[in-house]
Structure 1
């Protein structure tokens, strides 16, 4: 089973191996899409294989049982269901958050599955349980999907959400066919900087530096991105998966006065492998500054073992960078899995 997991991890990260570094004026290409950074380049398949073999020599193995238990807050959803209008964020785990704004309930990159994998019996396994059960969620109005990787577009979870809530699903260009084929009914594709109005909110699909693909030969055929959610008085930014680039500053300059920025802090090591597509805590703090946001909620850690840093290291590392940058500690809001914060 460990050998199968190894092969799945090679597959999982080899999705980034086929790189188009041609420079075009637009992020559209003849076969799909590219990053705004003209020098963006990910590692090749050989690098992925070398890295996977190196992992067997690390003190922390690929077995999640080697990590200590982490606190998970039990959330029965009652307070969330009784929240008519207050801005709140609940961390379900990984990149899955429940955002409540102006009485609208939004799920980001929902995954309740035990594994983020093309198959259910092998692949990166969940280490911490979801912070709230699907049956305890308030009515979900909108689902936002940052990109089509298995840990962000989880089809079994999406099918459950469709059956229970029939939400509006927002996603990048090229993903609609996959989602409709899984039985989702209300899917809207968006290009970077596209804005849609839904349930009284303005939602903009914004750029990130990442990539897409669910197999070895569909790299960058669908678009990846992030979301800026604008309510009557408040704004929330969901960063998805991303490396560091100027897009954070562009978003901050365009929208300003962002109340809450939900940003990734995990899956960062080794940097020689992850730097193009995953911000580390130092870059996360710089992104927070670029966005001109009031509060930073970290995500994309402590759920799946996808990289080499200890699962519990991202928050302490981010706290160090917050202190070094002179940002108030009160602006950093590291939620426990299952915890809700009302603003």
Structure 2
């Protein structure tokens, strides 16, 4: 009868496993995925139409030609090609950055195309060129994709990277079929909080508050997210697209202090439209504080006109928010397009 004393322990262990799995899978639905925020709500089709009409009433221009030239630092890639040990971040444009950590080269949401659109002749057109040519990149080992929107999963660019580098591509659940159909060979789907060890790195797919879809009928069928990249000594967080929620604090609680947080600061206005899915500079600074990161590298601006804020406003607004909460501007690293920073 003594053996029965193990039954409660075994039962507790089994139930704990199921309970933990339930927590991990709470963002799954019968047809796809959802955000954990119970108050999350995006706008509908008619809201989008109304917004487009309201844009004609803006008191400032959204035409890049009406602004002074945007800062670009052309990069020939030579310093990046010889860097085998230092942590570095290079801003290519929009959400595309090159992360070098422990001698491994990682591209985030790569887009070199002229438009972020399902077709090549219409849709948002880039107004600043990529900061480095694909042919000048160092060997790309890994590509991480935050979600399947056209400005973050750009198939023409991914085909070029596959042809040249054959990288390992990480993406959220449901996106592998699309990528394999485009000729990519090495694709790994991930769920939130799933960790993969590769090339001496630990890469974890972490939550964001956003949505997915490449057409009218596939809303939220694939998973969106962000990434925590842990090297031997350093950690880098790539935020993808996101609204503000508790996930930033949860990431810090799980992984500890982060060295570099690459966070979006653009595509923020009007707030009644964008707030659920895009943090503005004030929320970016709150996210940076929640993450307990040392350095903030802003992205997701100065490349495509996707929203209503003045095109040159994200960096000044972020600096002002940092000042308001007492965070040193020395922790803010607003790269020029093409610029590399070695940490």
Same fold (TM over 0.5): yes
Q: Is the 8 A contact 1:60 1:66 kept in 2?
A: no
Indicate whether 1:127 and 2:131 are aligned: no
Displacement after TM superposition at 1:146 (Å): 0.1
How many matched pairs? Answer: 320
Taking the aligned partners of 1:68 and 1:218, their CA distance within structure 2 comes to 39
Taking the aligned partners of 1:229 and 1:25, their CA distance within structure 2 comes to 22
Taking the aligned partners of 1:54 and 1:167, their CA distance within structure 2 comes to 43
Indicate whether 1:274 and 2:261 are aligned: no
Per-residue CA deviations over 1:77-115 (Å, capped at 9, x if unaligned) read: 000001011000000000000000000000000000000
Per-residue CA deviations over 1:280-315 (Å, capped at 9, x if unaligned) read: 000000000000100000000000000000111000
Q: Is the 8 A contact 2:228 2:235 kept in 1?
A: yes
1:15 maps to which residue? none
Matches within 5 A, 1:102-121: 102-121=102-121
Taking the aligned partners of 2:120 and 2:64, their CA distance within structure 1 comes to 17
Whose radius of gyration is greater, 1 or 2? Answer: 2
Q: Is the 8 A contact 1:142 1:167 kept in 2?
A: yes
Taking the aligned partners of 2:127 and 2:209, their CA distance within structure 1 comes to 27
Displacement after TM superposition at 1:56 (Å): 1.8
Q: How high is the TM-score relative to the length of structure 2? A: 0.92
Q: Is the 8 A contact 1:229 1:235 kept in 2?
A: yes
Higher helix proportion:
2
Q: Is the 8 A contact 1:93 1:302 kept in 2?
A: yes
2:20 maps to which residue? none
Matches within 5 A, 1:83-232: 83-232=83-232
1:315 maps to which residue? 315
Q: Alignment RMSD, CA only?
A: 1.1
Q: Is the 8 A contact 1:190 1:205 kept in 2?
A: yes
Taking the aligned partners of 1:62 and 1:335, their CA distance within structure 2 comes to 22
Taking the aligned partners of 2:127 and 2:282, their CA distance within structure 1 comes to 25
Taking the aligned partners of 1:57 and 1:63, their CA distance within structure 2 comes to 14
Per-residue CA deviations over 1:187-240 (Å, capped at 9, x if unaligned) read: 000000000011110000000000000001100000000000000000000000
Taking the aligned partners of 1:76 and 1:108, their CA distance within structure 2 comes to 19
Q: Which ranges in structure 2 are unaligned for 5 or more consecutive residues?
A: 1-23
Displacement after TM superposition at 1:25 (Å): 7.1
Q: Is the 8 A contact 1:91 1:338 kept in 2?
A: yes
SS at match of 1:330: helix
1:16 maps to which residue? none
2:246 maps to which residue? 246
